[in-house]
Each structure stands twice: as C-alpha cells, then as structure tokens.
C-alpha cells in the first residue's frame, strides 16, 4: 500500500469539517501537518504503511474531538432513560442449551479475546498485569490458558485465544507465551494502536517524532479493538477459519469464562452484540451503565456525565446495572462496520500531567460504546459471579482465600459460604504492592464467615488465621501488630501494639 494514499484520508476527514477561519480549524491543519512530517520520517515499507494507517485513524479521532468541541456537543441528560424491557434480558430467563451438538457447533465458531494492554504498575509490579501471580502460583494468563484448553478438550473443539496487547505489553507477552508452545491451544496476538499524546495548550502532538519512544505515546482505550483487529489481518483470518463469534473480556476479570448459555442465545437470537451487565452495588457506582437514548441502547460512562449530574449517575435507584466489559460480538458485523467506517464511539478526554509538569490530552474510546452500532444489540443481566476483577491487593486477598475453589482455571465460590456476597475488604497502604502484601501473610486467612475487614498500618498475619464477622485492625504510626498463627478474630477491633512471637 502506498503510504501517501493512507495519508490522503487525513484530507478527506479534514474536508468533512467546516473549520475555516476558526481556532479549531488551525489546530486541525497544524496537527495534520505534524502527522504528515512524522510519517515522512519512517523509511518506506510495511512499517511506514502501518504507522500511516495509525496516524490516519488518530487524526479522524482528533478531528471529531475538535468538531465536538466547536459545536459544544454534550449528552442531553433529559433524553436519558432507563433501558427498555427488551433491551436487557435476565440471565435466568435464557433458554438452556437445547442439545450438546448445537452447543459444540456454536463453540466451533467461537474465538476468545482478552484485553491485555495494561501494566501491573498500580499493584507494584513490572510488566503486563496478566503476568501477576493470582492463585496457586498461576498468573491471569495461566488461568485463562487452562480454561480455554479445558473447554477445547471437553468439547473436542478448537477455540483460539487472542490477546490484544499494547505497545507497553507486547514484547513481554510475546516472551511469556513461549511457555505455552507445547500446549494444544492456538494463541494469537495483535497490538492495539499507538497514538500520540496531545499538548493541552498547543493542541500539537507531544512526541518529537516517530522515533520518540518515551511516554509521549499512549494506547487509546479498548474501543480501538475493532479497527486494530482488522488492520492486523486477524479479523479476516478468523472469518476465513469459520469463526463467527468473539467473546471479549478484561484479562483481570477472573469471572469472565465462556458461558455456553449466552453463546447459544446469541446464535439463536441473531443478536450482533451482547453486553453482560450485572446489578450495581455501592462498590460499582462509577461503572458504565446501559441507557436508552433516542430509542437506542447506549453505554453511558461517568466521563461523559456533566458534573451537575454525577451524583445522579452514581445513584443505584436510577441506574441499577453496570457494564462488566464481558462482550459477545459478531465477527461478520465487525467486518461490515469497519468496512463502512461506521464506528463512531463517544470520545473520552483523559487529561494527564507528565513528569515534566506538562498537561497532555489522551483521546480514548470504550469498546462497550460500540453497542449502538450493532443490530439487535442487548444487555444480559448476569450473576455477580461473572464479574470478579482483580484491581488491587484487596481483591487479591479474596481470590487467594478459601472463599473460592479453583477447578480447570475457573474460580467458584465455596459452597460453605452461607451468603452469595463477598466480604468488603479494605487493606491499607502497607499492603498496596503485591510484594509487600505477600510478605505480610504466612498463609491466606480463612474468611468463609467474614463480612468486613479493614486493615491499616504495619500489620502481619501468621498462618491459619480465622477472620469472622467484622474485623478492624489498626496499627497506628510507629506501632506494629502481628496476628499470631491460629488466631481467631470474631467481630474484633485490634489497635495499638501487638507482637506475639511464634515458638
């Protein structure tokens, strides 16, 4: 492909915008020139063609952002309604698979995609988040591989596992997946786009050029999935291999396993897009929710909500469900929409401050926001067990405990837990990083009867500690509390200093 033809799309998108003589018009022109210059720095060949395509997509996004700014485009809060009854289907009302043969046929048309672009930095780890050990010495990726392998061997199918990496995780992930080369599982990878951050004042790209490998680039959110999947050639390959359905989820959601009931519903209902939603609790008030907007099902993210309506958005009364980011999508529909350049997801403006104090803009989109583009798109209200994310060491505390059992890579809640809800756990700063967290527990505590746990300060736990009811442990500054091995804390508050040495 000639790189100049890829760049020609810049001019096309620019001509669609009536910017002449405006500040935004000048910004669009300047950005287009800078992107032209960056592309020209790359030697001719496939690398330049790929980069030109990426910069073309970025310019489309940037031009749309400027256009919305110029028009003052905002969501009309008065038009937001709760989803219609037919737009959200209760999981319990889905028909169970009619036959094993039909399920196997549908599985043979399925591919599983994990969003694998994130780093483990918030949990104090270097490299991809998927490489963090979460249970019995296994990482997120190990558990996913085990799940899909078991699915394939049980049903005698070949469901491939696809990883969407970012430029932050690609090299490490490529090295990590070598260890699965002897496994009977097809693992495919592709990269989401690499977009330039934009200086908030000048509205020009932050990178000095193509070769600038610093923090001036960013992965533009998982809404980039469809275009990147297409540009990688993987979309066409999957369709050529007879695949029809794609199950997408975050790699750190340990509840996101292949559910054949949902898959069979998708196949029988001709729905091109299914979003798994679940009931909102106070812990999920910031999660995106499905709404009815002008008679169309849409995803509403907190970043799109005008500040005066933020509290209303967080309300559990008006918005009762939230998006788990477990999505089932028709591959043929993706192909159709990409070919028609129809994807037009809401832009999320993410303003960051660099280490040098420069304010920069990251323009991002969410994959779930694409729901509005697909035919017969619905939400399915699933049990909470399908949403088991590990975002912090407090989540890790639950996952590693006796609250869950592990079977073929799938976590299930212990049947001895009397209530189906998980305890509320808040671990303080001493536990924030995985390394520090691990050093503070000789073994995971027993928490089958725990309701609430708060731990702050310098606290360590011996082995076989039992926690029940509400337990609060506070070691004030300069104090240390060691909970001895075998201790049973039942509705207890522990504070001050406590050091008991094991003999």
Catalytic residues: 391
Of 449, 455, 381, 456, which is closest to residue 414 (Cα–Cα)? Answer: 449
Q: What is the DSSP letter of 185?
A: -
The residues near 207 (Cβ < 8 Å, ≥ 6 apart) are 38, 196, 197, 214, 216, 217
Check if the beta carbon of residue 379 is closer than 8 Å to that of residue 368: no
Taking the CB of residue 45, how many other CB atoms lie within 10 A of it?
9
Q: How far apart are CA 413 and CA 278, in angstroms?
A: 17
Burial of 91 (0-12, 13-18, 19+ CB in 10 A): middle
Burial of 493 (0-12, 13-18, 19+ CB in 10 A): exposed
Q: What is the DSSP letter of 201?
A: T
The residues near 45 (Cβ < 8 Å, ≥ 6 apart) are none
For residue 25, what are the β-bridge partners? none
Q: How far apart are CA 446 and CA 466, in angstroms?
A: 5
For the record, the structure tokens of 322 come out as: 């939230």
Give all strands of the β-sheet with 348-353 in edge-to-edge order.
Answer: 198-199, 359-364, 348-353
């Amino acid at each position: 492909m000639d790189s100049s033809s890829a760049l020609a799309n810049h001019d096309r998108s620019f001509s669609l915008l009536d910017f002449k003589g405006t500040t935004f018009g000048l910004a669009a022109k300047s950005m287009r020139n800078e992107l032209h210059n960056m592309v020209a720095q790359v030697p001719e060949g496939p690398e330049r063609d790929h980069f030109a395509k990426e910069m073309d997509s970025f310019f489309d996004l940037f031009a749309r952002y400027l256009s919305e700014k110029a028009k003052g485009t905002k969501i009309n809060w008065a038009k937001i309604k709760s989803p219609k009854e037919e737009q959200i289907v209760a999981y319990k009302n889905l028909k169970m698979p009619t036959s094993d043969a039909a399920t196997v046929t549908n599985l043979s048309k399925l591919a599983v995609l994990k969003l694998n672009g994130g780093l483990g930095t918030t949990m104090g780890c270097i490299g991809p988040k998927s490489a963090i050990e979460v249970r019995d010495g296994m990482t997120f990726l190990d558990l996913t591989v085990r799940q899909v392998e078991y699915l394939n061997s049980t049903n005698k199918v070949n469901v491939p596992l696809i990883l969407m990496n970012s430029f932050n995780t690609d090299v490490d992930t490529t090295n990590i997946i070598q260890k699965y080369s002897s496994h009977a599982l097809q693992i495919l990878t592709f990269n989401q786009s690499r977009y330039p951050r934009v200086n908030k004042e000048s509205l020009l790209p932050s990178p000095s050029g193509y070769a600038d490998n610093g923090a001036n680039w960013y992965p533009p959110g998982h809404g980039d999935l469809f275009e990147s999947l297409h540009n990688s050639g993987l979309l066409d390959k999957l369709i050529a291999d007879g695949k029809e359905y794609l199950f997408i989820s975050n790699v750190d959601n340990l509840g996101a396993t292949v559910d054949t009931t949902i898959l069979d519903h998708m196949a029988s209902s001709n729905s091109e897009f299914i979003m798994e939603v679940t009931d909102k609790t106070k812990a999920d008030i910031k999660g995106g929710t499905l709404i009815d907007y002008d008679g169309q099902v849409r995803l509403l993210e907190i970043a799109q909500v005008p500040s005066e309506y933020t509290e209303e958005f967080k309300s559990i009364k008006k918005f009762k469900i939230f998006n788990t980011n477990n999505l089932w999508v028709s591959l043929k529909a993706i192909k159709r929409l990409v070919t028609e350049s129809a994807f037009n997801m809401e832009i999320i403006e993410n303003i960051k401050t660099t280490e040098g104090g420069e304010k920069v803009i990251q323009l991002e989109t969410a994959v779930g926001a694409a729901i509005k583009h697909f035919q017969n798109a619905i939400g399915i209200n699933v049990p909470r067990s399908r949403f088991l994310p590990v975002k912090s060491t407090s989540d890790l505390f639950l996952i590693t405990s006796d609250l869950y059992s592990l079977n073929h890579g799938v976590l299930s809640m212990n049947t001895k837990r009397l209530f189906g809800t998980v305890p509320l756990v808040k671990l303080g700063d001493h536990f924030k990083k995985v390394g520090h967290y691990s050093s503070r527990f000789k073994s995971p505590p027993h928490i089958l009867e725990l309701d609430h746990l708060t731990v702050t300060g310098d606290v360590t736990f011996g082995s076989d500690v039992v926690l029940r009811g509400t337990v609060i442990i506070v070691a004030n500054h300069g104090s240390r509390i060691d909970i001895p091995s075998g201790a049973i804390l039942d509705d207890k508050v522990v504070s001050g200093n406590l050091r008991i040495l094991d003999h």
